[in-house]
Structure 1
């Protein structure tokens, strides 16, 4: 199995249950890992043998622009797009970390992780 990942993609977005979160926004970190089987032909050495990092990033970036109340919905939208774009993927994991969520006391981040297994 080949694993391809992007870690710590940073976005300023407006996801949140409370209306003020959708106005003020906050920082998010997104990690995506996908797994697939492939025979890598070193002689061909091209993107058709793997998952293109740029396409993965573009999917994440676009979905982070769509304001949603819960970050689980954002993660599911990212998973849906990735598995549609790369139909050969066997596994995928999307983790979204909301930096400094609005709680009464200090809190570094809230984290959700969604997984896909074919």
Structure 2
């Protein structure tokens, strides 16, 4: 019987604040608004906790996130998909991934704190 332990590692960025120009309506793409972005991934940990090549570098996650947030889209669904696809392409060993974007104070009737779009990935078994 093996004593090998299997750990699931989580790496995440929370509440990354970006000013961006996403929106379905032309005026949204002209004026911009603040967004908060979350990225979370999980993978089987190799046990080597001092080697950046055996984990997910959250600086890389941040770069991907910022680059995609700078690329204006009509729909947040497109933005979360592009971020998640790039993360999965960069780190093929991921078991799960999740990207969520909150649009702060969206222009609509009432006092809406934020709208939210999230996309999740689970590796096939």
Residue 90 of structure 1 pairs with residue 95 of structure 2: yes
Number of residues of Structure 1 aligned to a counterpart in Structure 2: 116
How well do the aligned residues superpose, as a CA RMSD in angstroms?
0.8
Unaligned runs of 5+ in 2: 1-7
The structure whose Rg is larger is: 2
Alignment-derived partner of residue 103 in structure 1: 108
Deviation of the 1:89 alpha carbon: 0.7
CA offsets per residue over residues 42-85 of structure 1, 9 Å max, x none?
4xx12011000100000000000110011010000000000000
TM-score normalised by L of structure 1: 0.96
Deviation of the 1:105 alpha carbon: 1.6
Alpha-carbon separation, structure 2, partners of 1:33 and 1:53:
10
Alpha-carbon separation, structure 2, partners of 1:41 and 1:80:
26
TM-score normalised by L of structure 2: 0.90
Residue 56 of structure 1 pairs with residue 53 of structure 2: no
Unaligned runs of 5+ in 1: none
1:114 is paired with a residue whose SS is strand
